[in-house]
Structure 1
Amino acid sequence: MYHDILLPVAPGGEVNQAIPHAASLAERYGATVHVVSAVDTLARTLRGPQAGAFAERVESAARERVGTVTAELEAAGVVAVGTVRQGEPIDVIEDAIADTDADIVVMPSHTRTGLRRVFLGSVTEKVVRVSPVPVVIVPMADDEADEADRDDGAAVSDEGERDESTVDGT
Protein backbone atom coordinates (compact mmCIF):
# COMPACT_ATOMS: atom_id res chain seq x y z
CA MET A 1 0.00 0.00 0.00
CA TYR A 2 2.75 2.47 0.97
CA HIS A 3 6.16 2.33 -0.73
CA ASP A 4 7.44 5.82 0.02
CA ILE A 5 6.71 7.81 3.18
CA LEU A 6 7.59 11.48 3.53
CA LEU A 7 8.61 12.61 7.02
CA PRO A 8 9.22 16.37 7.27
CA VAL A 9 11.31 17.44 10.27
CA ALA A 10 12.15 20.88 11.63
CA PRO A 11 15.80 21.93 11.79
CA GLY A 12 15.67 22.02 15.61
CA GLY A 13 16.33 18.98 17.75
CA GLU A 14 12.93 18.70 19.40
CA VAL A 15 11.33 15.33 20.06
CA ASN A 16 9.06 14.39 17.21
CA GLN A 17 6.33 11.85 17.92
CA ALA A 18 5.79 11.40 14.17
CA ILE A 19 9.05 9.47 13.81
CA PRO A 20 7.81 6.26 15.48
CA HIS A 21 4.60 6.45 13.42
CA ALA A 22 6.57 6.70 10.18
CA ALA A 23 8.83 3.85 11.32
CA SER A 24 5.82 1.67 12.14
CA LEU A 25 4.24 2.26 8.73
CA ALA A 26 7.57 1.61 6.99
CA GLU A 27 8.06 -1.65 8.88
CA ARG A 28 4.54 -2.81 8.13
CA TYR A 29 4.65 -2.06 4.41
CA GLY A 30 8.38 -2.39 3.69
CA ALA A 31 8.45 1.28 2.71
CA THR A 32 11.27 3.79 2.47
CA VAL A 33 11.06 6.86 4.71
CA HIS A 34 12.19 10.08 3.06
CA VAL A 35 13.24 12.52 5.80
CA VAL A 36 13.21 16.13 4.61
CA SER A 37 13.99 19.42 6.31
CA ALA A 38 13.43 22.89 4.88
CA VAL A 39 15.90 25.70 5.26
CA ASP A 40 13.96 28.90 4.75
CA THR A 41 15.79 31.00 2.17
CA LEU A 42 14.61 34.29 3.73
CA ALA A 43 17.71 34.35 5.94
CA ARG A 44 19.92 34.21 2.85
CA THR A 45 18.28 37.29 1.35
CA LEU A 46 18.97 39.49 4.36
CA ARG A 47 21.98 41.79 4.27
CA GLY A 48 24.88 41.89 6.69
CA PRO A 49 27.42 39.52 8.21
CA GLN A 50 25.03 38.24 10.88
CA ALA A 51 22.49 37.01 8.29
CA GLY A 52 25.00 34.70 6.61
CA ALA A 53 26.10 33.21 9.92
CA PHE A 54 22.49 32.68 10.95
CA ALA A 55 21.64 30.97 7.65
CA GLU A 56 24.64 28.67 8.03
CA ARG A 57 23.58 27.73 11.60
CA VAL A 58 20.04 26.92 10.44
CA GLU A 59 21.31 24.80 7.56
CA SER A 60 23.76 23.02 9.84
CA ALA A 61 20.96 22.32 12.34
CA ALA A 62 18.77 20.97 9.54
CA ARG A 63 21.53 18.64 8.30
CA GLU A 64 22.18 17.43 11.84
CA ARG A 65 18.47 16.83 12.48
CA VAL A 66 17.99 14.92 9.21
CA GLY A 67 21.08 12.82 9.98
CA THR A 68 19.88 12.03 13.50
CA VAL A 69 16.37 11.04 12.38
CA THR A 70 17.68 8.99 9.45
CA ALA A 71 20.09 7.15 11.76
CA GLU A 72 17.28 6.52 14.27
CA LEU A 73 15.10 5.01 11.56
CA GLU A 74 17.94 2.89 10.16
CA ALA A 75 18.73 1.61 13.68
CA ALA A 76 15.11 0.44 13.82
CA GLY A 77 15.62 -1.50 10.58
CA VAL A 78 13.86 1.01 8.32
CA VAL A 79 15.27 2.16 4.99
CA ALA A 80 15.64 5.93 5.27
CA VAL A 81 16.89 8.65 2.94
CA GLY A 82 17.52 12.19 4.17
CA THR A 83 17.68 15.53 2.43
CA VAL A 84 17.84 19.21 3.27
CA ARG A 85 16.19 21.59 0.82
CA GLN A 86 16.15 25.36 0.45
CA GLY A 87 12.84 27.20 0.52
CA GLU A 88 9.62 27.86 2.37
CA PRO A 89 8.61 24.73 4.34
CA ILE A 90 5.25 24.32 2.58
CA ASP A 91 6.90 24.57 -0.86
CA VAL A 92 9.70 22.18 0.13
CA ILE A 93 7.22 19.60 1.42
CA GLU A 94 4.95 19.93 -1.60
CA ASP A 95 7.92 19.47 -3.96
CA ALA A 96 9.26 16.55 -1.90
CA ILE A 97 5.91 14.75 -2.18
CA ALA A 98 6.23 14.87 -5.97
CA ASP A 99 10.00 14.25 -6.15
CA THR A 100 9.94 11.19 -3.87
CA ASP A 101 6.65 9.89 -5.28
CA ALA A 102 5.45 9.72 -1.67
CA ASP A 103 2.32 7.69 -0.98
CA ILE A 104 1.74 9.30 2.42
CA VAL A 105 3.08 12.14 4.59
CA VAL A 106 3.59 11.69 8.33
CA MET A 107 4.15 14.87 10.29
CA PRO A 108 3.65 16.38 13.73
CA SER A 109 1.27 19.14 14.70
CA HIS A 110 1.56 21.24 17.83
CA THR A 111 -1.64 21.57 19.80
CA ARG A 112 -1.71 25.34 19.76
CA THR A 113 -5.08 27.04 20.04
CA GLY A 114 -6.55 30.52 19.93
CA LEU A 115 -4.35 33.48 19.08
CA ARG A 116 -1.15 31.43 19.23
CA ARG A 117 -2.48 29.30 16.38
CA VAL A 118 -3.59 32.35 14.38
CA PHE A 119 -0.25 34.15 14.77
CA LEU A 120 2.03 31.16 14.40
CA GLY A 121 0.08 29.38 11.65
CA SER A 122 0.53 25.75 10.87
CA VAL A 123 2.67 24.21 8.16
CA THR A 124 0.82 20.96 8.83
CA GLU A 125 -2.55 22.56 8.07
CA LYS A 126 -1.18 23.95 4.82
CA VAL A 127 0.22 20.54 3.85
CA VAL A 128 -3.18 18.94 4.46
CA ARG A 129 -4.73 21.49 2.07
CA VAL A 130 -2.24 21.00 -0.79
CA SER A 131 -1.17 17.36 -0.45
CA PRO A 132 -2.27 15.00 -3.22
CA VAL A 133 -1.65 12.06 -0.84
CA PRO A 134 -2.96 11.22 2.65
CA VAL A 135 -1.38 13.09 5.58
CA VAL A 136 -1.07 11.43 8.97
CA ILE A 137 -0.96 14.11 11.66
CA VAL A 138 0.59 13.19 14.99
CA PRO A 139 -0.42 15.61 17.75
CA MET A 140 2.38 16.91 19.94
CA ALA A 141 2.05 18.72 23.23
CA ASP A 142 3.03 22.36 23.07
CA ASP A 143 5.96 22.61 25.51
CA GLU A 144 5.54 26.38 25.83
CA ALA A 145 1.94 25.99 26.97
CA ASP A 146 3.00 23.29 29.44
CA GLU A 147 5.75 25.59 30.71
CA ALA A 148 3.29 28.48 31.07
CA ASP A 149 1.02 26.22 33.11
CA ARG A 150 3.90 25.38 35.42
CA ASP A 151 5.01 29.01 35.65
CA ASP A 152 1.62 30.16 36.93
CA GLY A 153 2.31 28.31 40.17
CA ALA A 154 0.13 25.27 39.55
CA ALA A 155 1.89 21.95 39.56
CA VAL A 156 1.15 19.49 36.79
CA SER A 157 1.09 15.83 37.78
CA ASP A 158 2.60 13.02 35.70
CA GLU A 159 -0.89 12.34 34.37
CA GLY A 160 -1.15 15.93 33.12
CA GLU A 161 -3.61 17.05 35.81
CA ARG A 162 -3.11 20.38 37.51
CA ASP A 163 -2.70 20.46 41.27
CA GLU A 164 -4.19 23.82 42.21
CA SER A 165 -3.27 23.40 45.88
CA THR A 166 0.26 24.56 45.08
CA VAL A 167 -0.91 27.91 43.75
CA ASP A 168 -1.26 29.46 47.19
CA GLY A 169 1.38 27.24 48.80
CA THR A 170 -1.04 24.91 50.57
Structure 2
Amino acid sequence: MYDDILLPVAPGGEANDAVPHAASLAERYDATVHVVSAVDTLARTLRGPHAGAFAERVESAAQERVESVTAELEAAGVDVVGSLRQGEPVDVIENAIADTGADIVVMPSHTRSGLRRVLLGSVTEKVVRVSPVPVVTVPMADPDDEVDEAAASADDGQTADGT
Protein backbone atom coordinates (compact mmCIF):
# COMPACT_ATOMS: atom_id res chain seq x y z
CA MET A 1 0.00 0.00 0.00
CA TYR A 2 2.78 2.44 0.94
CA ASP A 3 6.13 2.10 -0.80
CA ASP A 4 7.48 5.60 -0.18
CA ILE A 5 6.83 7.73 2.91
CA LEU A 6 7.71 11.42 3.07
CA LEU A 7 8.84 12.68 6.47
CA PRO A 8 9.44 16.46 6.52
CA VAL A 9 11.61 17.72 9.39
CA ALA A 10 12.29 21.28 10.52
CA PRO A 11 15.85 22.62 10.46
CA GLY A 12 17.26 22.40 13.95
CA GLY A 13 13.91 21.11 15.16
CA GLU A 14 13.50 19.35 18.46
CA ALA A 15 12.30 15.80 18.86
CA ASN A 16 9.70 14.95 16.29
CA ASP A 17 6.92 12.62 17.41
CA ALA A 18 6.20 11.84 13.74
CA VAL A 19 9.46 9.87 13.36
CA PRO A 20 8.22 6.74 15.21
CA HIS A 21 4.99 6.82 13.19
CA ALA A 22 6.92 6.96 9.92
CA ALA A 23 9.16 4.13 11.15
CA SER A 24 6.15 2.01 12.09
CA LEU A 25 4.53 2.49 8.68
CA ALA A 26 7.81 1.75 6.93
CA GLU A 27 8.28 -1.47 8.88
CA ARG A 28 4.70 -2.57 8.29
CA TYR A 29 4.73 -1.90 4.54
CA ASP A 30 8.45 -2.46 3.86
CA ALA A 31 8.60 1.13 2.64
CA THR A 32 11.36 3.68 2.20
CA VAL A 33 11.21 6.84 4.31
CA HIS A 34 12.31 10.02 2.54
CA VAL A 35 13.43 12.54 5.16
CA VAL A 36 13.39 16.07 3.76
CA SER A 37 14.15 19.45 5.28
CA ALA A 38 13.41 22.78 3.64
CA VAL A 39 15.94 25.57 3.75
CA ASP A 40 13.85 28.67 3.19
CA THR A 41 15.48 30.67 0.41
CA LEU A 42 14.25 33.90 2.01
CA ALA A 43 17.26 33.67 4.33
CA ARG A 44 19.57 33.97 1.29
CA THR A 45 17.85 37.12 0.02
CA LEU A 46 18.06 39.06 3.27
CA ARG A 47 20.27 42.13 3.13
CA GLY A 48 22.87 43.01 5.69
CA PRO A 49 26.31 41.96 6.86
CA HIS A 50 25.15 38.79 8.62
CA ALA A 51 22.58 37.49 6.13
CA GLY A 52 24.98 34.98 4.58
CA ALA A 53 26.08 33.67 7.97
CA PHE A 54 22.45 33.28 9.04
CA ALA A 55 21.61 31.34 5.87
CA GLU A 56 24.60 29.07 6.43
CA ARG A 57 23.51 28.37 10.02
CA VAL A 58 19.99 27.51 8.88
CA GLU A 59 21.32 25.21 6.18
CA SER A 60 23.75 23.56 8.61
CA ALA A 61 20.95 23.01 11.16
CA ALA A 62 18.75 21.49 8.46
CA GLN A 63 21.52 19.15 7.35
CA GLU A 64 22.19 18.07 10.95
CA ARG A 65 18.48 17.41 11.49
CA VAL A 66 18.20 15.29 8.34
CA GLU A 67 21.32 13.32 9.34
CA SER A 68 20.02 12.81 12.89
CA VAL A 69 16.59 11.55 11.82
CA THR A 70 18.12 9.43 9.05
CA ALA A 71 20.50 7.81 11.56
CA GLU A 72 17.60 7.18 13.97
CA LEU A 73 15.58 5.44 11.27
CA GLU A 74 18.57 3.44 10.01
CA ALA A 75 19.21 2.24 13.57
CA ALA A 76 15.60 1.01 13.63
CA GLY A 77 16.26 -0.99 10.45
CA VAL A 78 14.26 1.30 8.16
CA ASP A 79 15.27 1.97 4.54
CA VAL A 80 15.79 5.74 4.51
CA VAL A 81 16.96 8.51 2.20
CA GLY A 82 17.66 12.05 3.39
CA SER A 83 17.73 15.29 1.45
CA LEU A 84 17.96 19.02 1.88
CA ARG A 85 15.96 21.27 -0.44
CA GLN A 86 15.85 25.01 -1.02
CA GLY A 87 12.54 26.86 -0.89
CA GLU A 88 9.41 27.63 1.05
CA PRO A 89 8.53 24.63 3.25
CA VAL A 90 5.09 23.96 1.72
CA ASP A 91 6.48 24.16 -1.82
CA VAL A 92 9.42 21.93 -0.89
CA ILE A 93 7.11 19.31 0.62
CA GLU A 94 4.69 19.45 -2.31
CA ASN A 95 7.57 19.01 -4.79
CA ALA A 96 9.13 16.24 -2.68
CA ILE A 97 5.87 14.29 -2.82
CA ALA A 98 6.09 14.28 -6.61
CA ASP A 99 9.86 13.78 -6.82
CA THR A 100 9.98 10.83 -4.43
CA GLY A 101 6.72 9.25 -5.54
CA ALA A 102 5.56 9.41 -1.93
CA ASP A 103 2.36 7.51 -1.19
CA ILE A 104 1.86 9.22 2.19
CA VAL A 105 3.25 12.12 4.21
CA VAL A 106 3.86 11.84 7.96
CA MET A 107 4.46 15.11 9.76
CA PRO A 108 4.00 16.79 13.12
CA SER A 109 1.22 19.22 13.92
CA HIS A 110 1.80 21.64 16.77
CA THR A 111 -1.15 22.20 19.04
CA ARG A 112 -1.13 25.97 18.94
CA SER A 113 -4.44 27.73 19.35
CA GLY A 114 -5.98 31.16 19.33
CA LEU A 115 -3.95 34.16 18.24
CA ARG A 116 -0.68 32.18 18.09
CA ARG A 117 -2.23 29.83 15.53
CA VAL A 118 -3.54 32.72 13.43
CA LEU A 119 -0.21 34.58 13.51
CA LEU A 120 2.10 31.59 13.06
CA GLY A 121 -0.01 29.57 10.66
CA SER A 122 0.74 25.94 10.08
CA VAL A 123 2.85 24.32 7.41
CA THR A 124 1.08 21.06 8.21
CA GLU A 125 -2.37 22.56 7.61
CA LYS A 126 -1.22 23.94 4.27
CA VAL A 127 0.30 20.60 3.25
CA VAL A 128 -2.96 18.83 4.14
CA ARG A 129 -4.78 21.20 1.76
CA VAL A 130 -2.39 20.81 -1.20
CA SER A 131 -1.19 17.22 -0.88
CA PRO A 132 -2.30 14.76 -3.55
CA VAL A 133 -1.62 11.88 -1.11
CA PRO A 134 -2.82 11.17 2.45
CA VAL A 135 -1.16 13.17 5.23
CA VAL A 136 -0.82 11.64 8.68
CA THR A 137 -0.53 14.40 11.27
CA VAL A 138 1.01 13.65 14.64
CA PRO A 139 0.10 16.10 17.40
CA MET A 140 3.01 17.66 19.23
CA ALA A 141 2.39 19.80 22.27
CA ASP A 142 3.78 23.32 22.13
CA PRO A 143 6.61 23.58 24.73
CA ASP A 144 5.09 26.82 26.05
CA ASP A 145 1.80 24.99 26.65
CA GLU A 146 3.66 22.28 28.61
CA VAL A 147 5.26 24.95 30.79
CA ASP A 148 1.86 26.59 31.34
CA GLU A 149 0.34 23.19 32.21
CA ALA A 150 3.15 22.42 34.66
CA ALA A 151 2.71 25.82 36.32
CA ALA A 152 -1.05 25.33 36.59
CA SER A 153 -0.55 21.88 38.10
CA ALA A 154 1.96 23.26 40.59
CA ASP A 155 -0.63 25.85 41.64
CA ASP A 156 -3.02 22.96 42.30
CA GLY A 157 -0.39 21.06 44.23
CA GLN A 158 -0.04 18.48 41.47
CA THR A 159 2.79 17.55 39.16
CA ALA A 160 2.50 17.89 35.37
CA ASP A 161 1.54 14.22 35.10
CA GLY A 162 -1.44 14.77 37.39
CA THR A 163 -0.07 13.07 40.53
User: Shift of the alpha carbon at 1:48?
Assistant: 1.9
Q: For 2:113 and 2:158, locate their aligned partners in 1 and report how far apart those are by CA, in whole Å.
A: 19
Q: Which residue of 1 aligns with 2:110?
A: 110
Give the aligned residue type for 1:55. Answer: A
TM-score, scaled relative to structure 1: 0.90
User: How far apart, in 2, do the equivalents of 1:67 and 1:46 lie?
Assistant: 27
CA distance in 2, matches of 1:17, 1:8: 12
Secondary structure, counterpart of 2:2 in structure 1: coil
- The count of aligned residue pairs is 161
Larger radius of gyration: 1
SS at match of 2:146: helix
Runs of 4+ residues over 6 Å off in structure 1: none
**What does residue range 14-93 of structure 1 map to in structure 2 within 5 Å?**
14-93=14-93
Letter in 2 for 1:7: L
In the other structure, the counterpart of 1:166 is: none
Q: Aligned residue for 2:100?
A: 100
Q: 2:159 aligns with which of 147, 157, 160?
A: 157
- For 2:21 and 2:150, the matched residues in 1 are separated by 29
Following superposition, the deviation at residue 150 of structure 1 comes to 4.1
Structure 1 residue runs of 5 or longer lacking an equivalent are 164-170
Q: CA RMSD in A?
A: 1.5
Q: What TM-score, normalized by structure 2, do the two folds share?
A: 0.94
* SS of residue in 1 equivalent to 2:127: helix
Separation in structure 1 between the aligned mates of residue 94 and residue 138 of structure 2, nearest angstrom? 18
